[in-house]
């Protein structure tokens, strides 16, 4: 079904999130953050780092005796793939129907509407 070669899993994306926030980082630091945020044990995070390495999603640069990890794929690209995937699956690949859905479900906060309006105006200007 999902024939995509090397997808980033949910747990893995938490690791990516940490590295996107600030990198490069030693494993120790990633572990510390995810222990706090997700309650994960050291081994868990090490495994995830390795799987991401094998998938080519991050790189590890030797820094003395340890490695420093950094993302190889951009957060924007990731966000893009995920978002487009959802749109494709649920909204015929287009954005407007999603917004329409949220609107119908009354899930549009006034500040969201305001921000959308600003966005559209900016698009007009160019």
Partner DNA sequence: ACATTTCGTTTACGCGCGTAATCGTTGGCT
Partner DNA sequence: AGCCAACGATTACGCGCGTAAACGAAATGT
15 close to 49: Cβ distance less than 8 angstroms: yes
3-state secondary structure of 43: helix
71 close to 77: Cβ distance less than 8 angstroms: no
Question: Among 18-26, 49-57, 63-71, 86-94, which window interacts with a copy of itself (CB under 8 A)?
Answer: 86-94
Q: Which is nearer to a copy of itself, 1 or 65 (CB)?
A: 1
Please report how close the Cβ of residue 14 comes to a copy of itself at its closest, in angstroms.
Answer: 8
Cα–Cα distance, 60 to 53 (Å, whole number): 8
Question: What does the per-residue mask of binding to a copy of itself show for 1-20, with x meaning CB under 8 A?
Answer: xx-------xx-x-------
Please report how close the Cβ of residue 66 comes to a copy of itself at its closest, in angstroms.
Answer: 27
């Amino acid at each position: 079904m999902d024939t995509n070669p090397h997808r980033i899993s949910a747990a893995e994306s938490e690791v990516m999130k940490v590295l996107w926030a600030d990198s490069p980082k030693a494993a120790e630091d990633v572990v510390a953050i995810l222990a706090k945020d997700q309650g994960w044990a050291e081994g868990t995070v090490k495994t995830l780092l390795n799987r991401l390495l094998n998938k080519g999603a991050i790189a590890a640069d030797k820094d003395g005796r340890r490695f420093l990890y950094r993302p190889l794929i951009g957060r924007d690209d990731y966000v893009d793939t995920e978002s487009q995937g959802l749109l494709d699956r649920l909204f015929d690949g287009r954005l407007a129907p999603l917004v329409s859905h949220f609107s119908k479900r009354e899930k549009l906060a006034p500040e969201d509407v305001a921000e959308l309006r600003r966005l559209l105006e900016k698009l007009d200007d160019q």
